[in-house]
Structure 1
Amino acid sequence: MTGNEYQKLAMRTNDRMAINRLHEATAEFHTECKDFGGIINACLGLSGEVGEFNDMIKKWVFHEKELDIEHAKKEAGDIAWYLAMLCESFGWELDEILKMNVEKLKARYPEGFDTYLANHRTEGDV
């Protein structure tokens, strides 16, 4: 199979409605959040910054490149910045999100991490 053949076959599942869905989502989210553009920016920014961080770890582990801890800290800070932007754009408080996460983890792992519980989550545990 050539790349062009793959593209033609794969794009049978692309209904070419993405721009319409974007317009609909923008209108819908505009009433439910503070900043739809900020949400998109934060999601793309998080993806990019996590990718940069992962690349540093990949090169450290598999390319035997020394890990620059100060650079890693700066990338972690960039990740935190985009998380804060995501919360701000939705109108959420970061403290509330962090507290919810800790409560979820306490419920999931009451005695600390457990591989059995990690692989056998209760229904509705996201």
Structure 2
Amino acid sequence: MLTTKEYQEQAMRTNDGEVRSRLMIKLNGNMTNNISEVIMGCLGLSGEVGELNDLVKKYIFHESHMDDIKFRKELGDICWYIALICHACNYDLGEIMEMNIEKLKNRYPEGFDVEKANNRAEGDI
């Protein structure tokens, strides 16, 4: 059985130590200096989705009251972080939304279909 020290040493064999140099990432064919905003957006989005999920969990499993105002405010926070990521990447949020609707129309031309959802075409993301 591995000790925690042995685990850590063996796990770090797959860490090439290049994380700092990778903080400048290539987005949409251009280098961005806004990596801090991308990171903040992704981490913030994760946190806000967690808060929203916690409200749903407590409503269902703890039988607590659903605070509609809090729920909507968390949805607003999620939107804010998505807008921040789009800003950092020089993406137009409206264009992203249109791309999503087009993808859904192509995937489900007649509306949602369980069979199509479970058997998507290769490359359908």
Larger proportion of helix? 1
Q: Measure the CA separation in 2 of the matches of 1:14 and 1:65.
A: 44
Q: Measure the CA separation in 1 of the matches of 2:16 and 2:86.
A: 31
Q: Measure the CA separation in 2 of the matches of 1:52 and 1:11.
A: 32
Q: What is aligned with 1:52?
A: 51
Q: What CA RMSD, in Å, does the superposition of the two structures yield over aligned residues?
A: 2.2
Structure 1: unaligned runs, 5 residues or longer = none
Following superposition, the deviation at residue 21 of structure 1 comes to: 2.6
* TM-score, scaled relative to structure 1: 0.83
How many equivalent residue pairs? 123
Distance 1:93 1:10, change over 3 A: same
SS class of match (2:41): helix
- Give the fraction of aligned pairs with identical amino acids, expressed as a percent: 52
Distance 1:77 1:9, change over 3 A: same
What does 1:38-77 align with in structure 2 at a 5 Å threshold? 38-77=37-76
Following superposition, the deviation at residue 108 of structure 1 comes to: 0.2
Following superposition, the deviation at residue 16 of structure 1 comes to: 3.7
* TM-score, scaled relative to structure 2: 0.83
Structure 2: unaligned runs, 5 residues or longer = none
Q: Measure the CA separation in 2 of the matches of 1:39 and 1:111.
A: 35
